[in-house]
Amino acid sequence: MPYMLITTQIRLETGPTNVGDEYSDPAIMNYLGARKTTMLGNNFSEYHVDDPPRLVLDKLEKIGFRVLTMTGVGQTLVWCLHKETE
């Protein structure tokens, strides 16, 4: 999977950070130390880490991901990353 989205809520820039959904690469989620959770009332799972987004971005850069774009959507900050395929 060459694309990845990470998000956090404004005012929570120190974490936690949402790093994936139920279809995310388990190896990358393990590398980030992410835990898979399902919020009450949701019919999907998400991966979260306690780290702030900056640390997550640093870790992902070390394994070849690059930020394509970043935006704010309502009270959410969103980063889109891409990794070149071999």
> Which domains are seen in the chain, by residue range?
3-82 (3.30.1410.10)
The amino acid that residue 23 corresponds to is Y
**Residue 83 backbone dihedrals phi, psi, to 5 degrees:** -125, 125
| Interval 33-56 mean pLDDT | 91
70-79 confidence digits (pLDDT tens): 999 899 999 9
- Token couple for 29: 């989620």
pTM: 0.86
The amino acid that residue 13 corresponds to is E
Strands of the sheet with 35-37, listed across from one edge: 35-37, 46-49, 17-21, 3-9, 76-83, 65-73
**C-beta neighbour count of 42 within 10 angstroms:** 9
Model confidence at 12, pLDDT cuts 50, 70, 90, reads low
